[in-house]
Amino acid sequence: MKKRVFIIHGWGGTPKEAWFPWLEKELEKRNFYVEIPKMPDTENPKINSWTNYIKKVVGKADKNTFFVGHSIGCQAIMRYLEKLPEKTKVGGVVFVAGWFNLMGLEPEEKPIAKPWLETPINFRKIKQHTKKFIAIFSGNDYYVPLSDEKLFKKRLNAKTIIKNNQGHFDESENIRKLKVALDAVLKIAK
SS3 state at 83: helix
Domain boundaries, the chain: 4-188
pLDDT digits 0-9 by tens, 123-144: 999 999 999 999 999 999 999 9
Give the closest residue to 168 by CA, choosing from 71, 75, 28, 40: 71
- Asked if the 4-188 domain carries CATH number 3.40.50.1820, the reply is yes
Main-chain dihedrals φ then ψ at residue 76, nearest 5 degrees:
-60, -40
Helices 179-188 + 20-29 axis angle, to 10? 40
- What pTM, to 2 d.p., does this model score? 0.98
User: Is residue 62 within 8 Å of residue 89, measured between CB atoms?
Assistant: yes
What pLDDT score does 1 carry? 81
Give the closest residue to 102 by CA, choosing from 89, 113, 93, 112: 113
Q: How far apart are CA 160 and CA 151, in angstroms?
A: 10
pLDDT digits 0-9 by tens, 14-49: 999 999 999 999 999 999 999 999 999 999 999 999
* Mean pLDDT, the chain, whole residue set: 97
